[in-house]
Amino acid sequence: MRALIQRVTKASVTVDGAMIGEIGAGLLILVCAMEGDDADKSAALAAKISKLRIFTDEAGKMNRSLVDTGGAALIVSQFTLAADTSRGNRPGFSQAAKPGAGRALYEQFVQDIDALGIPTATGSFGADMAVNLTNDGPVTIWLDV
Protein backbone atom coordinates (compact mmCIF):
# COMPACT_ATOMS: atom_id res chain seq x y z
CA MET A 1 0.00 0.00 0.00
CA ARG A 2 1.06 3.55 -0.60
CA ALA A 3 0.33 6.68 1.41
CA LEU A 4 1.15 10.34 1.37
CA ILE A 5 0.81 11.79 4.84
CA GLN A 6 0.69 15.45 5.75
CA ARG A 7 0.94 16.81 9.26
CA VAL A 8 -1.94 19.28 9.61
CA THR A 9 -3.42 21.71 12.08
CA LYS A 10 -6.80 21.04 10.44
CA ALA A 11 -8.21 19.26 7.41
CA SER A 12 -11.58 18.53 5.86
CA VAL A 13 -13.13 16.80 2.88
CA THR A 14 -16.25 17.89 1.01
CA VAL A 15 -18.39 15.97 -1.49
CA ASP A 16 -21.11 17.72 -3.51
CA GLY A 17 -20.83 20.80 -1.32
CA ALA A 18 -21.31 18.88 1.95
CA MET A 19 -18.48 18.41 4.44
CA ILE A 20 -18.26 14.69 5.19
CA GLY A 21 -15.05 14.53 7.23
CA GLU A 22 -13.09 16.95 9.37
CA ILE A 23 -10.24 16.85 11.88
CA GLY A 24 -8.19 19.26 13.93
CA ALA A 25 -4.50 18.60 14.56
CA GLY A 26 -3.19 15.31 13.22
CA LEU A 27 -2.56 13.72 9.84
CA LEU A 28 -4.20 13.90 6.46
CA ILE A 29 -3.56 10.45 4.99
CA LEU A 30 -3.98 10.00 1.25
CA VAL A 31 -3.95 6.23 0.71
CA CYS A 32 -3.83 3.95 -2.33
CA ALA A 33 -4.16 0.18 -2.47
CA MET A 34 -1.80 -1.27 -5.06
CA GLU A 35 -2.14 -4.50 -7.07
CA GLY A 36 -1.22 -7.44 -4.84
CA ASP A 37 -1.83 -5.62 -1.54
CA ASP A 38 -3.62 -7.41 1.27
CA ALA A 39 -4.87 -6.92 4.84
CA ASP A 40 -1.37 -7.52 6.24
CA LYS A 41 -0.01 -4.58 4.24
CA SER A 42 -2.89 -2.42 5.47
CA ALA A 43 -2.11 -3.28 9.09
CA ALA A 44 1.61 -2.66 8.55
CA LEU A 45 0.98 0.74 6.99
CA ALA A 46 -1.38 1.73 9.80
CA ALA A 47 1.14 0.67 12.45
CA LYS A 48 3.97 2.54 10.71
CA ILE A 49 1.97 5.76 10.38
CA SER A 50 0.74 5.64 13.98
CA LYS A 51 4.31 5.37 15.31
CA LEU A 52 6.11 7.85 13.02
CA ARG A 53 7.73 10.48 15.22
CA ILE A 54 6.90 13.55 13.17
CA PHE A 55 5.27 15.78 15.79
CA THR A 56 7.32 18.16 17.87
CA ASP A 57 8.08 17.66 21.54
CA GLU A 58 8.64 20.34 24.19
CA ALA A 59 12.15 20.96 22.83
CA GLY A 60 10.85 21.55 19.29
CA LYS A 61 12.26 18.26 17.94
CA MET A 62 10.20 15.84 15.85
CA ASN A 63 10.02 13.19 18.52
CA ARG A 64 6.32 12.40 19.06
CA SER A 65 3.91 10.17 17.15
CA LEU A 66 0.25 10.59 16.28
CA VAL A 67 -0.58 8.23 19.14
CA ASP A 68 1.60 10.27 21.54
CA THR A 69 -0.14 13.53 20.63
CA GLY A 70 -3.71 12.22 20.62
CA GLY A 71 -4.13 13.63 17.11
CA ALA A 72 -6.71 12.51 14.57
CA ALA A 73 -6.49 11.10 11.04
CA LEU A 74 -8.45 12.18 7.98
CA ILE A 75 -8.16 9.26 5.57
CA VAL A 76 -8.85 9.87 1.89
CA SER A 77 -8.66 7.29 -0.89
CA GLN A 78 -6.38 8.43 -3.71
CA PHE A 79 -5.80 5.98 -6.57
CA THR A 80 -3.68 8.59 -8.37
CA LEU A 81 -0.83 7.80 -5.96
CA ALA A 82 -0.31 4.78 -8.21
CA ALA A 83 0.45 7.00 -11.21
CA ASP A 84 3.10 5.69 -13.59
CA THR A 85 4.62 8.64 -15.43
CA SER A 86 7.56 6.78 -16.97
CA ARG A 87 6.20 6.96 -20.52
CA GLY A 88 4.58 9.87 -22.28
CA ASN A 89 2.60 12.65 -20.69
CA ARG A 90 -0.51 10.78 -19.60
CA PRO A 91 -0.16 8.88 -16.30
CA GLY A 92 -1.11 5.22 -16.19
CA PHE A 93 -2.85 3.74 -13.17
CA SER A 94 -2.59 0.00 -13.86
CA GLN A 95 -0.58 -0.52 -10.65
CA ALA A 96 -3.56 0.56 -8.52
CA ALA A 97 -5.78 -2.19 -7.13
CA LYS A 98 -9.04 -2.76 -9.00
CA PRO A 99 -11.95 -0.74 -7.55
CA GLY A 100 -13.50 -3.62 -5.55
CA ALA A 101 -10.22 -4.64 -3.94
CA GLY A 102 -9.20 -0.99 -3.53
CA ARG A 103 -12.40 -0.17 -1.64
CA ALA A 104 -12.03 -3.20 0.63
CA LEU A 105 -8.41 -2.32 1.48
CA TYR A 106 -9.27 1.36 2.01
CA GLU A 107 -12.01 0.35 4.45
CA GLN A 108 -9.63 -2.12 6.12
CA PHE A 109 -7.02 0.62 6.51
CA VAL A 110 -9.58 2.93 8.14
CA GLN A 111 -10.46 0.12 10.57
CA ASP A 112 -6.77 -0.54 11.25
CA ILE A 113 -6.12 3.12 12.12
CA ASP A 114 -9.26 3.28 14.26
CA ALA A 115 -8.26 0.07 16.11
CA LEU A 116 -5.05 1.83 17.18
CA GLY A 117 -7.17 4.32 19.14
CA ILE A 118 -6.73 7.14 16.66
CA PRO A 119 -9.85 9.24 16.02
CA THR A 120 -10.66 8.99 12.31
CA ALA A 121 -12.66 10.82 9.69
CA THR A 122 -12.87 9.76 6.05
CA GLY A 123 -13.52 10.81 2.54
CA SER A 124 -15.82 8.85 0.23
CA PHE A 125 -14.20 6.11 -1.86
CA GLY A 126 -14.43 6.87 -5.56
CA ALA A 127 -16.13 10.25 -5.10
CA ASP A 128 -15.01 13.56 -6.55
CA MET A 129 -13.77 15.22 -3.34
CA ALA A 130 -12.48 18.64 -2.36
CA VAL A 131 -9.81 18.33 0.34
CA ASN A 132 -8.85 21.36 2.40
CA LEU A 133 -5.90 21.38 4.77
CA THR A 134 -3.51 23.53 6.66
CA ASN A 135 -0.16 21.78 6.38
CA ASP A 136 1.83 22.07 9.60
CA GLY A 137 5.55 22.56 9.14
CA PRO A 138 5.12 21.71 6.31
CA VAL A 139 5.67 18.02 6.94
CA THR A 140 4.78 15.72 4.04
CA ILE A 141 6.00 12.11 3.84
CA TRP A 142 5.61 9.38 1.21
CA LEU A 143 5.31 5.78 2.46
CA ASP A 144 5.26 2.44 0.65
CA VAL A 145 4.81 -0.89 2.45
Catalogue the active-site residues.
78-80
Strands 120-122 and 72-77: parallel
Task: Give the pLDDT score at 141.
Answer: 98
Domain 2-144 has CATH 3.50.80.10: yes
Q: Which of 31, 33, 11 is closest to 23 using CA atoms?
A: 11
Task: Give the pLDDT score at 75.
Answer: 98
**What are the structural domain ranges in the chain?**
2-144
pTM of the model: 0.96
Task: Give the pLDDT score at 14.
Answer: 98
Q: What sign results for the dihedral spanned by CA atoms 82, 31, 111, 48?
A: positive
Cα three-residue angle 5-83-141, rounded to 5 degrees: 20
Burial (Cβ within 10 Å: 0-12, 13-18, ≥19) of residue 144: exposed
